């Protein structure tokens, strides 16, 4: 755990979050600035900077994180019409919190992958 990491502090329950799913190794909560009707962040409870670092350090946990994202999509009723998973890695991607997380988006047609 990193004391200056926002998501580590959420895991430690120092900062409140609207939790939608939790396992021993993952935590899923609603984004505070949603970009779609459903916008949930799924994180590992263990601190890893991004998905690349997680994949190298603990490939099994990377799989567990993806499985948790799929579970969240099911719980949020997105499986039928579809949903989008996004990992941002590094500053050019727009990653705002240096703790691995996957965005689960859905609840409406999401349009093209990238706006130009």
Q: Which residues are catalytic?
A: 101
**CB-CB contact of 51 with 89 (8 Å):** yes
Q: What is the DSSP letter of 112?
A: -
Spatial CA neighbour of 75 closest among 36, 34, 111, 42? 42
Alpha carbon of residue 86 to chain centroid = 8
């Amino acid at each position: 755990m990193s004391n200056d990491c926002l998501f580590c502090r959420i895991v430690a329950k120092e900062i409140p979050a609207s939790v939608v799913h939790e396992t021993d190794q993952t935590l899923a909560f609603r984004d505070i600035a949603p970009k779609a009707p459903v916008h949930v962040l799924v994180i590992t409870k263990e601190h890893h900077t991004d998905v690349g670092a997680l994949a190298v350090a603990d490939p099994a946990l990377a799989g567990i994180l993806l499985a948790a994202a799929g579970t969240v999509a099911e719980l949020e009723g997105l499986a039928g019409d579809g949903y989008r998973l996004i990992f941002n890695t590094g500053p050019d991607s727009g990653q705002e919190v240096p703790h691995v997380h996957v965005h689960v988006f859905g609840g409406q047609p999401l349009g093209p992958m990238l706006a130009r």
